[in-house]
Amino acid sequence: MIEEKIILGIDPGTTIMGFGLIKVVGKQMQFIQLNELDLKKYTDHYLKLKLIFERTIELIDTHKPDEIAIEAPFFGKNVQSMLKLGRAQGVAMAAGLSREIPITEYLPKKIKMAITGNGNASKEQVAKMLQSLLGLKTLPKNLDATDGLAAAVCHFYNYGKVTVGKSYSGWDAFVKQNPNKVG
C-alpha cells in the first residue's frame, strides 16, 4: 500500500501569513495550493490573531492535512516584532493542536538549506527552486506564500530523520515539552 499524506506548511506573520500544501504519495510530492492571508488592512493585533487562527482551522478542515510544518521565528533586533511573530506562530500552532495534527517547527535557515542547499538563500531563490521542483507555472507577487510552501517541502525532505526540529503530536505533548511556557 502506497502511503499518502498531506502536509500544510505555514510561514506565520501578522502582516502576511503564507501557506502551502503538498500531497505526498510514496516518495513523490504533488503541489496542491499556495496562498497567503493578507492582514495589512487590519490595525487591531488581536483581530489579526483571530483571523490567523480561523484561516488555519479553515485550511485544516478543508484539506485535512496529516502534518503541519511551521517556520519558527528568527531572533531579530526588534523585540516587539519578535513578540508579534511568536504570537502569530502560536495561534497557528494552537489551531493545529486543537485538531490534534502533529506540528514540526523549522528554523528559516533549515528550510532554505532543504530547498536550495544554501541556508542563506534569498526568498527569490527559494521561490524559483520550488517553482522548478513542483512545476509551478507562476509565482505569487508576495513570496510569503512560497515560504509557507517551502516549510511543507522541507518537512517532506526531513521526513523520517531523527532531528527535524521541535515536534508536537498534540496539546498534551506541547505542554509536556514546554513546561515553562504554559501556565
| Unique residue bearing C-alpha cell 532543504 | 114
Beta strands 103-106 and 67-71, pairing class? parallel
CB 100 within 8 A of CB 174: no
CA dist 163 and 159 (Å) reads 10
Q: Specify the pLDDT at position 149.
A: 97
DSSP state of 180: T
Q: pLDDT per residue over 101-118, tens digit each?
A: 999 999 999 999 999 999
The angle, 0 to 180 degrees and rounded to 10, between the axes of the packed helices 108-116 and 123-134 is 50
Q: Is 144 annotated as a binding residue?
A: yes
Helices and strands (DSSP H and E) totals, the chain: 6, 6
Q: Is 71 annotated as a binding residue?
A: yes
Rounded to two decimals, the pTM is: 0.86
Which of 3.30.420.10, 3.30.70.1170, 3.50.50.60, 3.40.50.720 is the CATH number of 4-178? Answer: 3.30.420.10
Q: pLDDT per residue over 131-153, tens digit each?
A: 999 999 999 888 999 999 999 99
For 163-181, what is the mean pLDDT?
Answer: 55
Report in angstroms the alpha-carbon separations of 1 from 4, 26, 56, 157, 158.
9, 9, 30, 21, 22
Query: Annotated active-site positions, please?
Result: 11, 71, 144
**Cβ count within 10 A of residue 45:** 14
Confidence of residue 183 (pLDDT cuts 50, 70, 90): very low
Domain boundaries, the chain: 4-178
